[in-house]
């Protein structure tokens, strides 16, 4: 089965998706490559937030169709951008 990497990156309140049409031969290979992508984006865009997905062909085709129609990606609510930090000096 082939897997495709889809990256959602958000900066200044706007999220965008990027992907390659190149597939990975296994989910493990895709996840290993995704770690390199995390390091790159964290270094190049330290104020950004994002998610990386390794998708099957069917999942990728559906997501790609949505993106090509102009659907804006959004982060899942369990991502750090949505988590409220407690002010310093207070107990959570």
Q: Is pLDDT above 50 for 7?
A: yes
- Please report, for residues 8, 14, 58, 87, the alpha-carbon distance to residue 74 in angstroms, rounded to integers and kept in the order given: 8, 9, 20, 26
Record the pTM: 0.74
Beta-carbon neighbour count of residue 55 at 10 Å? 20
- Residue whose token pair is 């988590």: 83
6 within 8 A of 53, measured Cβ to Cβ = yes
Beta-carbon neighbour count of residue 51 at 10 Å? 19
Q: Is pLDDT above 70 for 12?
A: yes
Edge to edge, what strands does the sheet with 14-19 contain?
Answer: 14-19, 3-11, 49-56
Average pLDDT over residues 62-67: 89
The pLDDT, as a whole number, for residue 89 is 47
pLDDT tens digits, 27-63: 999 999 999 999 998 899 988 888 999 999 999 999 8
Say how far apart CA 34 and CA 29 lie, in whole Å: 9
Q: Is pLDDT above 80 for 1?
A: yes
């Amino acid at each position: 089965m082939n897997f495709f990497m889809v990256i959602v990156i958000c900066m200044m309140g706007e999220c965008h998706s990027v992907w390659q049409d190149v597939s990975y031969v296994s989910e493990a290979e895709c996840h290993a490559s995704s770690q390199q992508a995390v390091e790159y984006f964290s270094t190049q865009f330290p104020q950004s937030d994002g998610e990386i997905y390794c998708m099957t062909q069917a999942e990728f085709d559906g997501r790609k169709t949505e993106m090509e129609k102009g659907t804006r990606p959004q982060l899942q609510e369990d991502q750090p951008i949505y988590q409220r930090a407690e002010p310093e000096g207070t107990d959570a």
